Amino acid sequence: MRVGIDVGGTNTDAVLMQGNSVLAKIKTPTTPDVFSGIVTALRFLIEREPSALERISAVMIGTTHFTNAIVERRRLQPTAVVRVGLPATAALPPMVDWPEDLCAALGDHRFLVHGGHEFDGRELSPIDPEEIRGVAREIVRRELRAVAITAVFSPVNNAAEQQVAELIRELLPDVAISLSHEIGRVSLLERENAAILNACLQELAAKTVSAFQQSLVEVGIAAPLYITQNDGTLMSAEYAARYPVLTFSSGPTNSMRGAAFLSGLKDAMVVDIGGTTTDVGALIQGFPREASVAVRVGGVRTNFRMPDVLSIGLGGGSIVKSQPLTIGPQSVGYELHQKALLFGGDVLTTTDIASAAGYFDLRARKGGRAKLAALDPALVAAAVDQIHALTEDAIDRMKLVADDLPVILVGGGSILIDRPLKGVSETIKPEHFEAANAVGAAIGQISGEVDRIFSLDELSRDAALEQAKDEARAKAIAAGALAETVAIVDIEDVPLAYLPSSATRIRVKAVGDLAIIREGVSS
Amino acid sequence: MRLITADDMEEIALGAAVLGTGGGGDPYIGKLLAIEALRRHGPVQLLDIDALDDDDLIVPAAMMGAPTVMIEKIPQGDEIIRAFREMESYLGRSITATMSIEAGGLNSTTPFSVAAALGLPLIDADGMGRAFPEIQMVTMSIDDISATPFTLADDKGNTLLINTVDNLWTERFARTAVIEMGCSAMLACFPMTGRQLKQAAVPGTISLCQRIGRAIRQAHNDGQSPIEAVLEVTGGYRLFGGKIGDIQRRTVRGFTRGQAVIAGSGRWTNQQCTLQFQNEFLVAQTERAVLASVPDLITILDAETGEPITTESLRYGFRVEVLGIPCNERWRTPKGLSLVGPQYFGYDFPYVPLEERVQQREQ
């Protein structure tokens, strides 16, 4: 058995799964401390299935906590940004294309120092230890506890970043250091951005991941804890605490992978309707299609591989106004159960419209039924039309072929859709649709990655690729993946040097199912 | 004359990426460098080609190197100023204005930095009407204007002055020097008089970049197709559409060479299009026919957003539209084709203008 948890900004969803079936599920509000919301969810699951406590083999958490912190500019720590690349790169200082409010949240602590490498691994300029110690003293003076280090061409040669980190640690042994080569790929500004975002989240990450772990301890679960990454694979809790940036965009990824799992479809559009927004994306062979352009997180350009998702302001809590009729983007969000007419409040929401149209039967409170009955039927009909039209339009914008495609509807807000959609061959609302994100976390896979420079003097490119693939497979298996499920999902080779001595940087990623999950299936 | 401010750069860089035909370097870096310079030093005057006096001295500015290096090793900032100072001291006179050597990609915006820093006007013209991988591939070569004296500066403070017998030699020496400089350098080249420039350059291309960029943005805002908007502004053709499959890249003598295969969709279902590139897209062909070749422009746009996609950012699974845009007429002369025709790039088929190829297929 395993538990999948999605800690969103509004709700915490959790599922208890055995093999391919969902044994129990719960949706509960996310609490400011994160911890008590998860404890509530876990206690509920165990109450439903008392044997689970002994039989849970892994807990997987997907969280938008870190993305939200960046987007909302909250709980970010002042960060020392060290770029190793002088005399080059001075024309564009770090954080050059950042939104001003985010810069302000991190403070202006940018340092450019000598060092780094050329494209072919030659030294760009030597590191001056005294220069670095000067920066370290300045970091001490400014009382900064997070440092991001980015050296030119560190993906080719990471020695400069390592050396600068060591020099800083001499003076600041306890500072949290983020090295860009461990996070991003070639392209200085985007990799540096990712390293800075990672650094400014260190304290929040330590606190949050520890809250995750504490919640397991609190309910007495001894199983290992994994956190989902943006590509749908898992990382250990310790790793996630060091690399919170890798969780960015894992929310949509989990929802889409959960949708694929619950529906059994591998190629389809996924419409995930939450409380405030609807995310629309495309599944290709069971994985979310990736965005082709650089994705911005909180206004900052990154070069992560991110799912290509269109977000529109339509959700179960979207506020409906008449004359003229508008739906969203304002939403009552987590206050739906207090503010919606249906629940006795005084705000007309999309959930009220769906209920008035007879799409579902929720027990109304405090005269909610009467309030719904008093709604103008023409308004309800027009709002229903517009809700469907907004959804159809979003699907159409994300479709890359004109053909009608199947659509998987997931998320708590998918009760809003009950009519056939235009441009859609069939609409599937799978069982447990409202917990697709938690299911997606629960089915997270294990990956193994090789990222190394191969000399092609004695090895052909094909032989080098084969060797890299074998190593990646072996790493995935060593990390806990079940051998027969391991497949290569990503290959990238970047030729480095010029003839005659050629070398190439090969990055290969292998992915497989977590072995203990499969054991769970057979048991 | 009009003033170009930091606010204009988004549109110019977007349009330049379309004319960049997949190469010409990352327009994002070019845009940031220009914006940073315009913010620091103030706006730049954009001059029509007619505003030049015959004996004005115009020196184009450019960045040279491998696109994959330029996105990683960003310039130091003073390179281009040193290259200009070196040029002025060798020629013994002051430079009147600068210009883009290529309207496509990063180099469309490179001269904005030096124009802003030195207070020079920028001429609304370029030497290609697109992007090309080599120095001698400019319309100035058709008029036998020398690329030299040619000055080159790197991030470490090195400056080189090159004088050569022809522009092919300039390319050889400069390329070798640039590799030693870490595969990225700034240069000043093709010093010209106003009279020479009026005859040799492709006029109006910076404004064209801005019109293309604006059309894509407006199409977005109005919910229209950005692809159609680009076709309208450029007089181009839709050549193919589909999903990127296999991509092969290798680095040869400082260039990224390779090919990408696109599996057709929509009206191109069951067809396959192969794109050959050397920094820029050179040839687009199906199993049946060549769809377009150099010197005509082949540009790849994201099927949804209309964002141009460069050869180095091509990835498996991207849904793209392949557009063909007719090149400047001067490239279609025998001398133009000897510089940048398909045969120069090692293909054995003759050049057929894009419009004729489209017409033949429609028959």
Which tokens sit at A384? 């229903």
Residues 132-161 of chain A with CB under 8 A from chain B are 152-153
pLDDT reported for residue B134: 84
Residues 71-90 of chain B with CB under 8 A from chain A are 71-77
Give me the count of residues in chain A.
523
Among all residues of chain A, which has the CA nearest to that of B75? A89
pLDDT reported for residue B317: 67
DSSP string, A309-336: -EEES--TTEEEETTTTEEEEEE-GGGH
Q: Is A488 on the interface with B (CB under 8 A)?
A: no
Distance CA B222, CA A243 (A): 40
Count helices and strands in chain A by DSSP H and E runs: 17, 23
A119 chain-B contacts, CB cut-off 8 A: 66, 68-69, 72-73, 182-183
Question: Nearest Cα to A343, choosing from A363, A361, A365, A360?
Answer: A365
What domains, with CATH codes, occur in chain B? Answer: 2-205 (3.40.1610.10), 226-362 (2.40.390.10)
3-state helix vs strand vs coil in chain A, percent to 5: 40, 30, 35
Which tokens sit at A298? 């909180």
The H or E element spanning position B258 is: strand B255-264
Over residues B30-61, the pLDDT tens digits come to 899 999 999 999 999 999 999 999 999 999 99
CB A443 within 8 A of CB A257: yes
Closest partner CB to A401 (pick from B69, B252, B265): B265
Residue B330 to chain A, least CA–CA distance (Å):
34
Whole-angstrom CA distances from A88 to A163, A311, B77 are: 19, 39, 8
Residue A367 burial by Cβ neighbours in a 10 Å radius (0-12, 13-18, 19+):
exposed
Residue A80 to chain B, least CA–CA distance (Å):
20
Question: A1 in helix, strand or coil?
Answer: coil
Q: Phi and psi (nearest 5°) for A5?
A: -130, 135
Residues 10-39 of chain B with CB under 8 A from chain A are 28-29, 32-33, 36
- Judge: B250–A498 Cβ closer than 8 Å, yes or no: no
Domain A77-200 falls under CATH 1.10.238:
no
From the CB of residue A376, how many other CB atoms can be counted at a distance below 10 Å? Answer: 11
Residue ranges in chain A whose pLDDT is less than 50? 497-501, 518-523
Distance CA A69, CA A91 (A): 30
Over residues A346-358, the pLDDT tens digits come to 999 999 999 999 8
3-state helix vs strand vs coil in chain B, percent to 5: 40, 25, 35
Distance CA B186, CA A182 (A): 31
Pairing of strands A79-86, B122-123: unpaired
pLDDT reported for residue A496: 56
pLDDT reported for residue A498: 39
CB B213 within 8 A of CB B229: no
pLDDT reported for residue B157: 95
Residue A471 burial by Cβ neighbours in a 10 Å radius (0-12, 13-18, 19+):
middle
**How many angstroms separate the first and last alpha carbons of chain B?**
45
- Judge: B73–A397 Cβ closer than 8 Å, yes or no: no
pLDDT reported for residue B182: 87
Residue A238 to chain B, least CA–CA distance (Å):
30
pLDDT reported for residue B135: 85
Q: How many contacts (CB atoms, under 8 Å) link A and B?
A: 113
Residues 426-485 of chain A with CB under 8 A from chain B are none
Closest partner CB to A293 (pick from B69, B305, B319): B305
B157 chain-A contacts, CB cut-off 8 A: 87
CA A130 to chain CA mean position, Å: 39
Best B73, B109, B156 member to test A by mutation, with max A CBs in 10 Å, is B73
In terms of CATH, what superfamily is A2-69+206-248?
Answer: ATPase, nucleotide binding domain (3.30.420.40)
Tell me the pLDDT of chain B (363 aa) as tens digits.
Answer: 799 999 999 999 999 999 999 987 777 888 999 999 999 999 999 999 999 999 999 999 999 887 778 889 999 999 999 999 999 999 999 999 999 999 998 899 999 999 999 999 999 999 999 998 888 899 999 999 999 999 999 999 999 999 999 988 998 899 889 988 988 899 999 999 999 999 999 999 999 999 999 999 999 888 788 999 999 999 999 999 998 877 887 766 666 788 999 989 889 989 999 999 988 999 999 999 999 999 999 999 988 788 899 887 787 667 899 999 999 999 999 999 999 999 999 999 999 999 999 999 888
